[in-house]
Amino acid sequence: MKALAQCWFTRQHLPDGRPHREEDGSHTSYCRHCEREIVTWDRSRWFLAGGFNVTHLAETVGGRFLFVVDVLEEAMIARYPVQHLPDEVAVDALKADIRAKHGLDQPGSGLELHDSGATPAARRKATRPRRAPNLRSGPSQVSA
């Protein structure tokens, strides 16, 4: 009988060797303890890639994705391509949909939304609570 891997206790997977940089900005590797495929976006926390064939998806679809990861289970649970969206406004709208669909904003949900196309500055910004958009009243928003 195989002993339980160390990461089963520590809940921290560690990459075995040099991580492979994926087309979409994530890094993949195999856990040196449990030998399962793992994926990271910030190269500090690793998540189980689960049934997702990360490399294959990146090759066939390409570009940028939004990922939902379960921090408690350390697993990626959903992946959304954003390649087809026209602009950042549409991406933000999709993010809001995903947050609602998966209940990300519920206390104790343990889920996080990651954006593979986010710049380092945007990643830092995303971890801070967002201020509500400054909506003006009236139809005079578009200046002539």
Tabulate helix, strand, coil % of the chain (nearest 5).
25, 20, 55
| Of 20 and 33, CB closest to Zn ion | 33
Query: Counting every residue, how long is the chain?
Result: 144
State in angstroms the smallest separation of the CB of 71 from Zn ion.
15
In angstroms, give the least distance from the CB of 24 to Zn ion: 22
Output DSSP code: residue 113. Answer: E
Cβ proximity to Zn ion: between 76 and 91 the closer is 76
Shortest separation between residue 53's beta carbon and Zn ion, angstroms: 18
**Which residue, 75 or 113, has its beta carbon nearer to Zn ion?**
75
How far is Cα 106 from Cα 49, in angstroms, rounded to an integer? 24
Q: Are 41 and 114 in contact (CB under 8 A)?
A: yes
Q: Shortest gap between Cβ of 14 and Zn ion (angstroms)?
A: 7
Residue type, 18: R
Rounded CA-CA distance 22/32 in Å is 19
Q: How many CB atoms lie within 10 A of CB 116?
A: 20
CB nearer Zn ion, residue 75 or residue 111: 75
Q: Using CB under 5 A as the criterion, which residues of the chain lie in contact with Zn ion when the complex forms?
A: 7, 13, 31, 33-34
